[in-house]
Structure 1
């Protein structure tokens, strides 16, 4: 099988702008640069992205296009260094896995990055979840809310303060949409927590795309993203049917490693997952049975070493030549080559554990 070359992005900064960017890693004030991709030359704004990942030697970047305003149908792009993931594959594997399950999920691709003619290594280019994300999928207009911290837990109680939330919008940041959409979000959170059990099934079906949520829950339980239940997602409010859907985001801490890049035991996350919404849904016998059916099917088809092995090896072969030259991964090159086997071993053990735990859902 022929190995395709990675697309290469060239970022060119004026030396003073590059100095300004690097002088304060926490600054949210963008600096200007020129982005070149093949024959395209674009003017962009650049800031570092992420929270704790800004401390890494290999930075991640948030790029916004302003001349022209869009590039390949998007107005911004996220370039992730994936520095804590020795495989550089987990985020993409996860997002593609969710897409395979029929869940709305950002597109992503690996690429090589040069800054002022210096090779910065392999990056994962991530599609932004915004109005262009909806348009690209021919979805009805609506609002997108980012879960910006652990208070996006579908509860009235704060995970951070361990107290009653001061606002039902705490934990969320509206990426696109109107202020009027906030009322739908507040009503959604309130109803999750206040509706009596006897009326919950009827109520939630009017506010949540339940089928999609149960598939999302099964997906996150399989890949074992511990933070994903109360963080690492976006909410899409569809104004046409008035239903919310979840979209995964930042899934590098998966497939057997945690947020610090350390091994994560394949039995760490329970089969029911956690957060207030999941607990309430799985308390409904109809939904619990359906979740059982969804997970059973996934464990037999998608979440298997047979299904994932070719995808993993193909991606690894594609980026391997670029990883070997990555200036930030010299000490991790040996780990990169061993990660495919580690991921496959995790899938095998996680699959066996979840199949054993399926009886809890009956």
Structure 2
């Protein structure tokens, strides 16, 4: 499993548990961390001092105090909100802390490359991924989804973590010496009957996640349902979605409504609504809160993880998703989609054509800015 292919192999005999909303995935993760006996591998983009970060730090320190090897890999930009006091607590408590690509006086493209992955691996046998982070917004304000993973595919997540932990683009806090992270010695046993694989990307315009989705969209027979908080898709994906809708596939987008942490990104994506609606794509804007989840379903195939459909995810970020090819799991994800569609406002073609000039101006303005971003390298 090398970084050159940007995706793992399909593995059988796994078990995947869908964990929608923080009220389900946070307790499940803390329970697993609390039961750790050998090792913890944690990789996060967002970590900011506050209630949730304190809960995470307390759990990691408790694990380290009972002899668990704890490695925490944070993005050098996304975790800038973690206070010096919290960083010192982690180090003093025995947590090995490393930073991916701290901001520096090097190329703009390198500063733009961020580790956007989200991963927790317990004892090399249980893993969690999704769109979560250790910031207080995930406690109540943001809607998020995660997946609990057991089985042989967990080993691929471990290998992915190790490859970055030992990468030249990571460093220890305050110049701490490097310490090679080694793989768990025992093979991960079979845990179920589900088929899955890890798929990832390392920025610079290559994303196996996007290419995998595009292939599935081209082959779709029944449905293409996509949930993403940052929808600024490539021309290629827009055309594929439109073609699928025209050939009778049920194509739906679940996107944020007015509650958004980056409204400009929302406006930039809305400039594509008109053509998609005319092609028969259905668009739903989630109303209860900001929906930060990233998951897609094409027929019985599901992809869930860190990847958004914007230029940062598709061109610069390190991303990783769990793909699942299982009819029962897809049925559960479809039910989650349906509940979220019911809590959304559907954007209808005729209503959208009558949107006010102020809305159109915002789409134009942020579309121009988005175009400028795509030309950065």
How high is the TM-score relative to the length of structure 1?
Answer: 0.30
Larger relative contact order, structure 1 or 2 (CA cutoff 8 Å, min sep 6): 2
